[in-house]
Structure 1
Amino acid sequence: MAAAALLRQRAGSGGAEALWRAQRRQRSTFDVVVVGAGIVGLASARELVRRHPSLAFAVLEKEQELAHHQSGHNSGVIHSGIYYTPGSLKAKLCVEGAALCYKYCDQKGIPYKQCGKLIVAVEQDEIPRLKALYERGLQNNVPGLKLIGTKEIQAKEPFCRGLMALDSPYTGIVNYKQVAQSYAEDFREAGGTILTDFEVTNMEMAKQSSSESEDGLKYPVIVRNSKGEEIYCRHIVTCAGLFSDRLSEISGCSPEPRIVPFRGDYLVLKPEKSYMVKGNIYPVPNPRFPFLGFHFTPRMDGSVWLGPNAVLAFKREGYKLFDFNTGDFLDAVSYSGLWKLVLRNTSYGLSEIYRVCFLSAQVKQLQKFIPEVTVNDVLRGPSGVRAQALDSDGNLVDDFVFDGGSGDIGSRILHVRNAPSPAATSSLAIAKMIADEAKQRFEL
């Protein structure tokens, strides 16, 4: 326990990791280890250490930096909670999470913009769906919603054309990587330890011969990384995002739901054209398609992102068009759930692939809302990869999935296998739910 205390004392200055590396041949012990330093993992670790300040906590992250993948490659939108089924966890957590996010940013001095969002109907047959979306948002207690007509659309977005729009003034934008890093600072200040460059490859109960000491009895779970380094702990919470299914399988969980990665490529408006977009401009969702469609997203740096598309990624953390990993590719294409999804959405999928290849096809989608946008006004921009959970029937898993392991280790692990979008917006609310679940499962 002394080693853990010393680590916690030096965590705020960044000395914990260096000290631990220097002493890696000695046993390091923690009460709870959180695997994954994305925004959900860091928010959960922060909530846990605030609730249980007498316990020793650590966050393990395989990358050198925090919030490196989904948390650092998203659109940066603070969603208001319009889309989700009334009464669902997603609806509740998004509305609660948005309020907590704004409050947290105010407390920490993190810049954000409450720039609003218009969900715009450009065809007559979209209007009934838009009105239904408005009713859904009201049921979810989303503040400030109203339906507006053509003149009001142009008053808010002078270059946008539409028949009717749902105005959501509570929608905003923020840099979620900055938010995640602030969570990490809170965690460290509360005594937590963050170890980067620690890729977890195995979790198991200590063997009898190893558990005869007092530490071994109290900290019976061994977490190993790809370098053979070990951490001993009592309990584990995993928030592994794109690798959540693989990490849970290590402890004997079901292989489903499977994570299938979808890459989203953005365009960017040239800086001299960014004046054409003031807030978020979104299409009316089409229930026939699995993803949302092209939209306009202003960013905190003043740029405007356009998109994204949605195509199968050939590498789970592959952000470039030609990124490829044989294992990730075979894992995806051998899964029956993916083929069932593809067969139900063949035309949509082919259209997405076509738009990847031809810039003009993407711009055509954007011109439905802002006709003045041309191919000469845009550049190819960044990409993100979404950890989409799929079941064996090809359905997108749209709710939270918690799981444990099998055998003795099962009761000591909580796997967060699916924390669906809008997880970044909802991160503080999700963290409360995970902390509640951990307290119940682990009897903290």
Structure 2
Amino acid sequence: MGNGYDVLVVGGGIVGLSTAHALTRAAPGTRVAVLEKESSCGRHQTGRNSGVIHSGVYYRPGSLKARMAVRGAAQMVEFCAEHGIPHAVTGKLIVATERSELPRLHALAQRGRENGLRVRELGPAQITEREPHVRGVAALWVESTGVCDFGAVADTLARLAVEGGAVLRTSTEVRGIVRRSGEVVVRTTTGEVRGRALVNCAGLHCDRVARMAGDDPGMRVVPFRGEYYALAAPRRHLVRGLVYPVPDPAFPFLGVHLTRDVHGGVHVGPNAVPALAREGYTWLRASPRDLADLVAFPGTWRIARRHWRREAGELYRSLSRRAFVAAARRLLPELGPGDLRPAPAGVRAQGVLPDGTLVDDFRFAGSGPVVHVLNAPSPAATASLPIGEEVARRVLAALR
């Protein structure tokens, strides 16, 4: 096959792999290559999350996130069952710990119903029935939420894509893109690759890849690190399933929550602190280039002015375990600092507009034979199958 393909997919995370799989299914014989800069696929947002299959309860009715999360959750459960991937449909509690949160909880229940979900509003006694150690004044039970191993999902998608004829080219970082009549030429660390079309699923670097391709993404990725702890093994009995606080509608993060995964562990977190690098999984990991981009981008300063009080609290919880525990104890009063063990962090590729607005929905862009998947953090893993189908449809239409 050499270095000539029909479609080049930049990024070997779960969305890029889903796109490659969808292309080989929708148009057998299409020559697809996935270009991944790491030595293996799924190393970033795909492999660094709490493994929750989101129901779609949080998202604006009619939005891409709402429609794709609802459809994607059902498809993900079917996909896991079909391929023997660990998963469970557990449902989840969204818990109001103060009466002042009740209007937001009721509004969330209405949003869930508008999105076609089965939700129930519960009182304190019903909360205790489902989660004996959790306390709240009211809660929302969302039936269709679940958990799975998204790393295993990505591995399966990679295998199916290869079986369908796709090629995975790992340790292949994109350094430049040139669009010519009838082809896209990609310069990589392992040589030049050509394709008739290109899909940008580069996640944390999607805006940079868009600019390489000559397109203005209209936004910038601002990385937020989500730091997790894990419950010590003797204390895992404190959490049966998934327990979330009522989210702040002005902030696209869900707050410190409790998540029992498919392997029996319990995650506590994450917070959401500005990262010093797009792959800044610790405070010690910093990138001069990424920091320079953040400082030069007007949206960074406008976010800071708009959300500084909230971010001050997130930073405090990052630096103080006791503060982190205090946030989690609002849901789980028995939790103590000694109950937590450090767990791997993740980084959210949050799209931000120049005016400081946090991009709330999935975003697709591009022109001609180039499709960009922009702003696809959580719930993109949940929605990865319908996202892949949508991108494949757009690419194949462009090729035709």
Query: 1:398–1:420: 8 Å Cα contact kept in structure 2?
Result: no
1:338 maps to amino acid: T
Tell me the distance in 2 between the aligned counterparts of 1:377 and 1:221. 53
Shift, 1:333, TM fit: 2.0
- 1:427 and 2:384 are equivalent in the alignment: yes
Q: List alignment gaps of at least 5 residues for structure 2.
A: none
Distance 1:290 1:347 in 2: 15
Q: Is residue 327 of structure 1 aligned with residue 302 of structure 2?
A: no
1:370 aligns with 2:332: yes
SS across alignment from 2:276: coil
Question: Structure 2: how far apart are the matches of 1:159 and 1:33?
Answer: 50
| 1: CA distance, partners of 2:165 / 2:269 | 41
Question: Which position in structure 2 is the counterpart of 1:210?
Answer: none
State the distance in 2 between where 1:141 and 1:38 align: 29
1:108-163 deviation digits (Å, cap 9, x = unpaired): 11111222210001111111111111111011011x31111111100100000111
User: 2:120 aligns to what?
Assistant: 146
Distance in 2 (alpha carbons) for counterparts of 1:376 and 1:420: 31
What amino acid is the match of 2:52? Answer: V
What pairs up with 1:114-125 in 2 under 5 angstroms?
A: 114-125=89-100
Tell me which of 83, 91, 102 is aligned to 2:66.
91
Give the distance between the partners of 1:263 and 1:51, measured in 2 at CA. 36
- For 1:173, the equivalent position in structure 2 comes to 147
How has the CA–CA distance of structure 1 residues 255 and 146 changed in structure 2, closer, same or farther, with 3 Å as cutoff? closer
Find out whether 1:260 has 2:222 as its counterpart: yes
Residues 205 and 89 of structure 1: CA distance in aligned 2, closer, same or farther (over 3 Å): closer
1:66 to 2:28 alignment: no
Question: What is the letter of the counterpart of residue 203 of structure 1?
Answer: I
- Match of residue 248 from structure 2: 286
Q: Which structure is larger by alpha-carbon Rg, 1 or 2?
A: 1
Letter in 1 for 2:382: T
One-letter code of the match for 1:423? A
C-alpha separation in 2, matches of 1:63 and 1:377: 34
Deviations 1:257-301 (A, max 9, x none): 100111010111111100000111000112344422110011122
For 2:394 and 2:303, locate their aligned partners in 1 and report how far apart those are by CA, in whole Å.
Answer: 31
Paired position in structure 2 for 1:109: 84
Compute the TM-score of the two structures, normalised by the length of structure 2: 0.97
**What letter is aligned with 1:352?**
E
Aligned residue in 1 for 2:53? 78
Q: Indicate which of 272, 294, 305 corresponds to 2:267.
A: 305
Question: After superposition, where does 1:227-246 map in structure 2 within 5 Å?
Answer: 227=190, 229-246=191-208
2:370 is aligned, of 405, 408, 413, to 413
Q: Specify the SS of the correspondent of 1:46.
A: helix
- Write out the 4+ residue segments of structure 1 that deviate beyond 3 Å after TM superposition: none
Task: Note the alpha carbon deviations across 1:381-414, whole angstroms, 9 max, x for none.
Answer: 210000000000111112232232xxxxx52211
Superposition RMSD in Å: 1.4
Instruction: Tell me the residue number matched to 1:224.
Output: 187
Deviations for 1:211-265, whole angstroms, at most 9, x for unmatched residues? xxxxxx8x633211124x1112211111000000111111211153100111010
Amino acid across the alignment from 2:385: L
User: How many residue pairs are counted as aligned between the two chains?
Assistant: 400
Q: Which amino acid aligns with 2:211?
A: E
Q: Say which SS state the counterpart of residue 301 (structure 2) adopts.
A: helix
Please give the per-residue CA displacement for 1:286-345, whole angstroms capped at 9, x wherever unaligned.
234442211001112211111111111111112122101100111112211011111011
Contact 2:219–2:353 under 8 Å retained in 1: yes
Match of 1:41 in 2: 16
Letter in 1 for 2:254: L
2:387 is aligned with 1:438: no
1:34 partner amino acid: V
**What do residues 343-381 of structure 1 show as CA deviations (whole Å, max 9, x unaligned)?**
011111111111111110011111111110011111222
* Aligned partners of 2:226 and 2:346 also within 8 Å: yes
Identity of aligned residues (%): 43
TM-score (norm 1): 0.88
In 1, distance between residues paired with 2:21 and 2:236? 37
Post-superposition Cα deviations, 1:168-211, rounded to whole Å, max 9, x if no partner, equal: 121111110100110011101111111101101111146xxxxx
- Structure 2 CA distance for aligned equivalents of residues 249 and 392 of structure 1: 15
1:337 to 296, 299, 314: 299
Q: Distance in 1 between matches of 2:267 and 2:29?
A: 44
Of the three residues 229, 233, 236, the one matched with 1:271 is 233
Q: Distance in 2 between matches of 1:79 and 1:292?
A: 12
Partner in structure 2 of residue 187 of structure 1 = 161
Classify 1:94/1:350 alpha carbon distance in 2 versus 1 (closer, same or farther; 3 Å).
same
Report the residue type matching 2:200 in the other structure.
T
- Indicate the SS of the match to 2:345: strand
CA contact (8 A) 1:399 1:420 kept: no
Superposed, 1:347-358 pairs within 5 Å as: 347-358=309-320
Matched residue SS, 2:77: helix
Matched residue of 2:46: which SS?
A: helix
Distance across 1 between alignment mates of 2:252 and 2:142: 23
Report the CA distance between 1:440 and its aligned residue.
2.6
Distance 2:361 2:295 in 1: 23
Deviation at 1:420, TM superposition (A): 3.9
The question of whether the paired residues in 1 share the 8 Å contact of 2:14 and 2:381 is answered with yes
Match of 2:357 in 1: 395
Q: What is the SS of the residue equivalent to 1:128?
A: helix
